[in-house]
Amino acid sequence: MQITGKYGEWDIVEQIPEGWRINKVIGSPLFGHVVIDNCKSPLTKECKRALLKIKRPQPTETPPTVVEPTPAPILVPEPQPEPKQQAQPNYEFPSQKVNELARKKFQEHLLKEITFDLMVCELEGWNKLDYIKELKRLINGVAAANTPKNKPQAQLDFFTQNNP
């Protein structure tokens, strides 16, 4: 190994010695150099490290090319028709459709959960009707909490027609 210089405690070499490798784990402390080691474990005293100088290719001198500027084309804006001020009566915003789709998916998810719970009730021997009545009370409670106080309670019960 021919040492061509030193940087702090690091030896600097021009060529990588035989049996050595570039260590990509350790960042180099010096620009234009990489860390190399002798492939020994860093936990032993046999591990040796050095800096390998990277030879950058020198740019070849080429005569400068002269680019003649071309005049930019003059863009004339095309006359645009005036936008129509008519309102579209049945236009639905895309967010409204997305919201409706999300609600339908959530309702489907709820229905699957309720169906699963009813199967568990059947397997465990619990009363399914009590579970359904409890769900009705919960939904009616949510509806009552989210409606104005001046509406009569009879209109809030969604399940009055199906109540046994």
pLDDT in tens, 3-41: 888 888 888 998 888 899 998 888 888 888 899 998 888
pLDDT of residue 108: 93
| Among 11, 16, 6, 5, residue whose Cα is nearest residue 54 | 16
Residue 100 and residue 48 share a domain:
no
Cβ pair 23, 49 in contact under 8 A: yes
Q: Which domain holds residue 129?
A: 94-155
Please state, in angstroms and rounded to a whole number, the distance separating the CA atoms of residues 58 and 63.
Answer: 15
Q: What is the pTM of this model?
A: 0.35
Total structural domains in the chain? 2
Is 117 part of any domain? yes
Is 149 part of any domain? yes
Is 160 part of any domain? no
